[in-house]
Amino acid sequence: MKKILIASIALAVFALSSCIEDSRDNFMVEDSLSLVYDEQVVPVSVYAGSCTISVLKSGKGTTPASATLGVSTEALNAYNAENSTSYTPISSSSYSFASSSITIKAEEMTGKVQIEWDPKTLQPALNGGLSVIPVVITDASLEVNQKRNLILVNVLNSEVGLASTGSTAVASEDPNENIELQIKVSLDFPLPEDLSLTFDVDPSLIAAYATEKGLDAIAPFAGYLRFPDKVVSIPAKSSDIFFTLTLKNSVLFDSNGKMKSFNTIVAPIKITGTSISGVSISERVYYMVVKSPFSGASVSRIWGKYSSTHLWSEDYGLPSGADRTMTLDADWVYLPYSVGGDVAKITAISVGDPETTKLVNCTGFKSNTITTACVRVIDKGDGTTMLTASGANGDSFAFYTWEDGIDNAPKCTELQCTWRRGGDRYEIHGTWADGTLYAMLTREPSLRGTR
């Protein structure tokens, strides 16, 4: 009984629904046509040679449609007035519609029209960035949505430029250590073919740049900047590329291996040419700045003691060929007399007043072949310093320390580790209180340490 009742209800519902008219389309707007765009001004590179415009059918989507596209100066003028712009129309003789008419079938939603031009002909006629083709639907089988019936095809000259305004590097003190930089070049609109570029340095820009930045700058030395041997090219349909700039460090050195004198090198790098005539070159300049490793360092002459007529050997025992060692502490510069023989002498010259000199007390100092061959100022370990010097005493290394100051006689320590002299073959690590003295044997290549 239940099965019969359910079946009867189902038949009744079916019969009723078959009698109701499908009126869903009554709630849909009628089909209309409009132009398709995200932004009303569409930038296109002149070197692209063409641009595609799409027409959209919207509404119920059940009606076939046809439309004709053209241009409208009146629509362009109205757009300029409304948006306070000053776009200018491109002459219709400079381009053409591949087919100005389109047909959209009932089941289709869009149709396309292509505008074509010769880049070589159109490029010279462009009005900067203001040249447009004002495209509108001029005739259609359906209603046209006038709020979306204007596209401004903004035909632009492609521009290539250096992506950055520069960088700064510090030259190496090693002549063989070159610097390699990756420099980016950008193209605003990709081209249908490769774009080859050439570069150069513009020395005329250095002076103004140096003044602006407060630099003591010079132009690069000849051969310092090495651009790629091969032509730098941006491949077709690409928008950027990197190339390697090499800074040849050996150029900064003279024939004697000494770095040439300079504070800052400035190289204003520019794109100087392209393989496609008419491609615009950006005015952006890449300033390569290279600083000397000694830039900012200064040497001040605290004092000097010299004479062009009075030889030092007369006062300080420094004849030609002698060891010219020296050392200093906060108060004195110490010069040893090092010509050998029986004289042991060390002269102290005042740091504060170089006219003030005195002899270090060398009582008991045993001189030999090199006499007072070497002087060192070392830390005593209590926050003060003391003078030390080496001599030779037969087969032993005689090491002298002025622990009680230079006005008092030094103390001698003999180390059985060398012959003839210690000279500049010793050094102190740590302090006199807890450090180690290293002395080199002159008869075998080794170091020995002692406290």
Decide: helix, strand or coil at residue 25.
helix
> What's residue 263's pLDDT?
93
Tokens 């200093």, located at residue = 328
Which has the higher per-residue pLDDT, 83 or 446? Answer: 83
> What's residue 1's pLDDT?
46
Residue 420 in this model has a pLDDT that exceeds 70: no
Asked if 360 and 347 count as a contact pair (C-beta separation under 8 A), the reply is yes
Distance CA 163, CA 185 (A): 5
Percent of the chain with pLDDT over 70: 77
> What's residue 450's pLDDT?
46
Give the mean pLDDT of 387-403. Answer: 76
Closest by alpha carbon to 173, among 91, 250, 95? Answer: 250
Tokens 């008869």, located at residue = 443
Residue 333 in this model has a pLDDT that exceeds 60: yes
Tens digit of pLDDT for each residue in 90-127? Answer: 999 999 999 889 999 988 899 999 999 999 899 888 98
> What's residue 310's pLDDT?
62
> What's residue 397's pLDDT?
66
Asked if 51 and 40 count as a contact pair (C-beta separation under 8 A), the reply is no
Asked if 297 and 287 count as a contact pair (C-beta separation under 8 A), the reply is no
Identify any residues that bridge with 271 across adjacent strands, giving them in sequence order.
199
Domains of the chain plus CATH, in order, are 30-156 (2.60.40.1740), 159-291 (2.60.40.1740), 313-450 (no CATH)
Asked if 159 and 283 count as a contact pair (C-beta separation under 8 A), the reply is no
Full 3-state SS string of 347-398 = EEEECCCCCCEEECCCCCCCCCCCCCCEEEEEECCCCCEEEEEEEEECCEEE
Q: Which of 24-28, 173-177, 274-278 has the highest mean pLDDT?
A: 173-177
Residues in the chain: 451
> What's residue 93's pLDDT?
93
> What's residue 325's pLDDT?
73
Asked if 66 and 104 count as a contact pair (C-beta separation under 8 A), the reply is yes
Q: What is the DSSP letter of 207?
A: H
Tokens 């009680």, located at residue = 404
Asked if 113 and 180 count as a contact pair (C-beta separation under 8 A), the reply is no
Q: What is the pTM of this model?
A: 0.53
Give the mean pLDDT of 182-204. Answer: 91
Q: What are residue 233's phi and psi, to 5 degrees? A: -130, 140
Which has the higher per-residue pLDDT, 433 or 9? Answer: 433
Residues 6+ apart with CB under 8 A from 433: 380, 381, 382
Decide: helix, strand or coil at residue 261.
coil
Which has the higher per-residue pLDDT, 327 or 318? Answer: 327
Q: What is the DSSP letter of 4?
A: H
> What's residue 369's pLDDT?
55
Secondary element (H or E) of residue 313: helix 313-316
As a whole number, the mean pLDDT across the chain is 82
Confidence of residue 402 (pLDDT cuts 50, 70, 90): very high
- 195-201 and 131-140 as β-strands: parallel, antiparallel, unpaired? unpaired
Which has the higher per-residue pLDDT, 20 or 139? Answer: 139
Asked if 291 and 171 count as a contact pair (C-beta separation under 8 A), the reply is yes
Residue 56 in this model has a pLDDT that exceeds 50: yes
> What's residue 431's pLDDT?
78
Give the side-chain half-sphere CA count within 13 A for 63: 18
Secondary element (H or E) of residue 252: none
Residue 225 in this model has a pLDDT that exceeds 60: yes
> What's residue 206's pLDDT?
96
Secondary element (H or E) of residue 103: strand 101-104
> What's residue 66's pLDDT?
93
Tens digit of pLDDT for each residue in 234-287? Answer: 999 898 999 999 999 999 999 989 999 999 999 999 999 999 888 889 999 999
Distance CA 105, CA 65 (A): 6
> What's residue 304's pLDDT?
66
Residue 394 in this model has a pLDDT that exceeds 70: no
